[in-house]
Structure 1
Amino acid sequence: MPVINSIAAMQPEMQEWRHWLHRHPELSFDLPKTSAFVAEKLRSFGITDIHEGIATSGIVAIVEGQGDGPTIGLRADMDALPITEATGADHASETPGRMHACGHDGHTTMLLGAAKYLAQTRNFRGRVALIFQPAEEHGGGGDVMVQEGIMDRFDIEQVYGIHNSPNFAEGEFFTRPGPLMAAVDMFHIDITGKGGHGAMPHDTCDPVVAALGIGQAIQTIVSRNHYAMDELVVSITQIHTGSADNIVPETAFLGGTVRTFDPAVQDMVEQRMATIVAGQAASYGVTATCRYERGYPSTVNDPDRTDFATRVAADVAGQGKVDAQAAKEMGGEDFSYMLNARPGAYLFLGAGPGPVLHHPEYDFNDAIAPVGASFFARLVETAQPL
């Protein structure tokens, strides 16, 4: 079962949808144009059971199959990023400072393509819940949709999602059972000392020196406080302080991210960071507070559903075109909340060579849209056959 012929024939139409979405990027939960576009397309496919306004701008649309059966969930994210586009494409963003730099326009298009096919054929039993989600990049829209009860409200028994992946072979899939993507935590450290003249540091309590000491000490969490075979990343990504060469500032700030797969490692990092910040602050004579915020949990695939999904992916992409034991990713994904609520799987779809995700020159590869749409459709027909 390769790419479905009728979906392949839809490719020009799908490209038009994707280019419209790309020209009109919207952020986080504020997606009025995007959600209206999606709802209009769903109605044009003859789908009438459409639930809008979930998690502000999310949509769940139900396609009824033939006869009784369970409900399978298919998810696509819809939000863009606050990046100025540099692709030079004819369909480039028309909103300065915003662009679809992660391919969510393509993900939405693939699910729309599957929706049109499934609504036309209904070659399955039970129901399909088409989940169009806001705020994957910022805000945890997946969590909000789950908290608003979509799994119970629509009787979803299992759920699946895919993400495009530049610089992996075009049209090939990869994933793994169990943990696939990392949990995403953030830390913010505020340091207060005593400012003064840069020529008279003895009259100050320098927060810059304290910030440097804290930053260096935090790195020992990875090198000295955890088992080397457990995946862990601690990255300081922000340092803000000072205003002039001859002024010792009053305050300094450090911020960054922590990536883990094991909740026990997560707990250790949070505890050690608090201890290090307090101890370093005392040694430098400053005051410091550490705010540790837990973000998206680890994305964990259900082993049985992953095995099922990779078999379907191989039917679509071809034998030898699916890596079912891929390496873990240290990036994060809020589809994790849906996988915590229901068993399912998340897969990556190779997009071929090109700029990486979140780069101003990135653009989704329209050639893979029929592959993703066919995968979604075959999941339904295979999981819930007539």
Structure 2
Amino acid sequence: MSYQLGNSDIVELTEWRRELHRFPEISGEEAQTARRVEDRLRALGPDRLLTGLGGHGVAAVFEGAAEGPGIMIRCELDALPIPEISTFDHRSQVPGKGHLCGHDGHMSMVMAVARALSRQRPEKGRVVLMFQPAEEDGSGAAAVISDPRFDETRTDYALSLHNMPGLPLGSVSLRRGPVNCASRGMCIGLNGRTAHASDPATGLSPMAALAKLMPELTALGHGNGPEDAGFTLATVTHARLGEATFGVAPGQAELWVTLRTMLDADMADLVSRAEALVADCATEAGLEHRIDYHDVFRHCENDPEAVELLTRAMAAEGLTPGEAGQPMRASEDFGRFGDHAKAVMFLLGAGETCPSLHNPDYDFPDELIPIGARIFLRAVDQLLNET
């Protein structure tokens, strides 16, 4: 292998990971995180450094000496609006926010790749290291791709990973085809008319419609998991009826539902059926209604050629990929890059006893930093250095 990482690299990047963990920023607010990334990358002298990409995104380009294919390696900048309950020294210093999905670790792996590339450029082609903003709410990839400067980062391949609690530490999971579900947040508003609580008949309450919609929307689900053909899932995540008062019969209600399908092609049908249910229920109750969508994720699908590239890279590192944990119900804002490159995402085991992603006591296992970085570097080496 042409690229090497020393023990000092891993020690320094482990400490940097913990620094990132102390100062989490949520989707759309990653200004200081991006600045920390930018400062590190600038010191490594990439051939091009793009900042403010699609918001707070940062991309470093390392050019080879000759023409050849390009590889993007993508990680995420953002944290979560979840309070962390851990007590270790590098716990979050920002109340109500935490790196509880491991994006701090993913950034450290990609920064390790940058260190290796700064010492030795590829023989041909180029490598783009993409630090994507706003992954958690599904808006970041679309914003990066719509940025006019995205053309400067286009590549033939796009690689990414996610750490996965529940899988043995350092194990890898990789498969062809769909790997992450499509999903979107459906926000439903029901509007009637308030009344005095002593005379509710003079108003128009959305209470019955709200109570009816929750089980009927949930019943749109089909299949036990994303491996089942036509899998769909509707999950009620929030409901509000009126105001917190005893003197007013409610006139408004709000219902949040996450719609999920394995494939993008199935989402339009699920959306149509959900919207029809809402419209029928509101009409029956004499209510006005509105529907807004948020956190829209495309499904992720692994390209066969990209899977083969990573499989060979893993084999060279002595790793044999399985398919445990895939396809995933969870969504990932990586699928859009598949419209522009041969994309692939793999899972890297975070340990069978590691707290689950988004749990308040989760912390990224530092032992994964060199493993993920070496897999990425091996893929670069095999595609851009070997003839």
TM above 0.5? yes
In structure 2, C-alpha distance between the alignment counterparts of 1:173 and 1:148, rounded to whole Å: 33
In structure 1, C-alpha distance between the alignment counterparts of 2:339 and 2:312, rounded to whole Å: 22
- Identity rate, percent: 31
In structure 1, C-alpha distance between the alignment counterparts of 2:293 and 2:138, rounded to whole Å: 17
* Corresponding residue of 2:195: 196
> How far 1:67 sits from its partner (Å)?
2.9
Asked if the contact 1:8–1:370 (Cα under 8 Å) also holds between the matched residues in 2, the reply is no
> How far 1:40 sits from its partner (Å)?
1.9
* Corresponding residue of 2:176: 177
In structure 2, C-alpha distance between the alignment counterparts of 1:319 and 1:26, rounded to whole Å: 33
* Corresponding residue of 1:229: 229
* Corresponding residue of 1:214: 213
Matches within 5 A, 1:84-233: 84-138=83-137, 140-198=139-197, 200-222=199-221, 229-233=229-233
Q: Deviations over 1:81-114 (max 9, x none)?
A: 1222211111112222221111111111000001
In structure 1, C-alpha distance between the alignment counterparts of 2:87 and 2:78, rounded to whole Å: 21
For the aligned residue pairs, the C-alpha RMSD in angstroms reads 2.5
Unaligned runs of 5+ in 2: none
- Indicate how the Cα distance of structure 1 residues 100 and 325 shifts in structure 2: closer, same or farther if over 3 A, else same: closer
In structure 1, C-alpha distance between the alignment counterparts of 2:377 and 2:308, rounded to whole Å: 17
2:376 counterpart of 1:376: yes
- Indicate how the Cα distance of structure 1 residues 177 and 8 shifts in structure 2: closer, same or farther if over 3 A, else same: farther
What secondary structure sits across from 2:255 in the alignment? Answer: strand
Asked if the contact 2:191–2:287 (Cα under 8 Å) also holds between the matched residues in 1, the reply is yes
Matches within 5 A, 1:315-354: 315-316=316-317, 318-320=318-320, 322-324=321-323, 327-352=326-351, 353-354=353-354
Q: Deviations over 1:242-270 (max 9, x none)?
A: 33456421111111100112344212222
> How far 1:47 sits from its partner (Å)?
2.8
* Corresponding residue of 1:83: 82
What secondary structure sits across from 1:51 in the alignment? Answer: strand
> How far 1:298 sits from its partner (Å)?
0.5
Asked if the contact 2:178–2:263 (Cα under 8 Å) also holds between the matched residues in 1, the reply is no
> How far 1:285 sits from its partner (Å)?
3.0
| Corresponding letter in the other structure for 1:365 | P
> How far 1:223 sits from its partner (Å)?
5.5
In structure 1, C-alpha distance between the alignment counterparts of 2:324 and 2:312, rounded to whole Å: 13
* Corresponding residue of 1:306: 307
> How far 1:365 sits from its partner (Å)?
0.5
Moved more, 166-175 or 136-145: 136-145
* Corresponding residue of 2:359: 359
> How far 1:77 sits from its partner (Å)?
0.7
Asked if the contact 1:93–1:99 (Cα under 8 Å) also holds between the matched residues in 2, the reply is yes
In structure 2, C-alpha distance between the alignment counterparts of 1:333 and 1:311, rounded to whole Å: 24
Asked if the contact 1:210–1:284 (Cα under 8 Å) also holds between the matched residues in 2, the reply is yes
What secondary structure sits across from 2:310 in the alignment? Answer: helix
* Corresponding residue of 2:260: 259
> How far 1:201 sits from its partner (Å)?
4.7
In structure 1, C-alpha distance between the alignment counterparts of 2:5 and 2:158, rounded to whole Å: 24
| Corresponding letter in the other structure for 1:142 | A
- Indicate how the Cα distance of structure 1 residues 256 and 151 shifts in structure 2: closer, same or farther if over 3 A, else same: same
In structure 2, C-alpha distance between the alignment counterparts of 1:278 and 1:46, rounded to whole Å: 57
In structure 2, C-alpha distance between the alignment counterparts of 1:213 and 1:375, rounded to whole Å: 50
Instruction: Report the TM-score, using the length of structure 2 for normalisation.
Output: 0.90
What secondary structure sits across from 2:297 in the alignment? Answer: coil
> How far 1:351 sits from its partner (Å)?
1.0
Unaligned runs of 5+ in 1: none
- Indicate how the Cα distance of structure 1 residues 319 and 72 shifts in structure 2: closer, same or farther if over 3 A, else same: closer
* Corresponding residue of 2:251: 250
2:297 counterpart of 1:296: yes
* Corresponding residue of 1:281: 282
| Corresponding letter in the other structure for 1:307 | E
| Corresponding letter in the other structure for 1:369 | I
> How far 1:124 sits from its partner (Å)?
3.7
Moved more, 281-290 or 211-220: 281-290
What secondary structure sits across from 1:68 in the alignment? Answer: strand
Q: Deviations over 1:343-378 (max 9, x none)?
A: 120111111122111122111100110001111111
| Corresponding letter in the other structure for 1:69 | G
| Corresponding letter in the other structure for 2:21 | H
| Corresponding letter in the other structure for 1:177 | R
| Corresponding letter in the other structure for 1:120 | R
* Corresponding residue of 1:18: 17
In structure 1, C-alpha distance between the alignment counterparts of 2:339 and 2:15, rounded to whole Å: 34
- Indicate how the Cα distance of structure 1 residues 178 and 229 shifts in structure 2: closer, same or farther if over 3 A, else same: closer
Instruction: Report the TM-score, using the length of structure 1 for normalisation.
Output: 0.91
Moved more, 40-49 or 233-242: 40-49
* Corresponding residue of 1:40: 39
Asked if the contact 1:186–1:292 (Cα under 8 Å) also holds between the matched residues in 2, the reply is yes
What secondary structure sits across from 1:69 in the alignment? Answer: strand
Asked if the contact 1:191–1:287 (Cα under 8 Å) also holds between the matched residues in 2, the reply is yes
Q: Deviations over 1:9-37 (max 9, x none)?
A: 52211111101111121222332322222
- Indicate how the Cα distance of structure 1 residues 262 and 32 shifts in structure 2: closer, same or farther if over 3 A, else same: closer
* Corresponding residue of 2:58: 59
Moved more, 76-85 or 122-131: 122-131
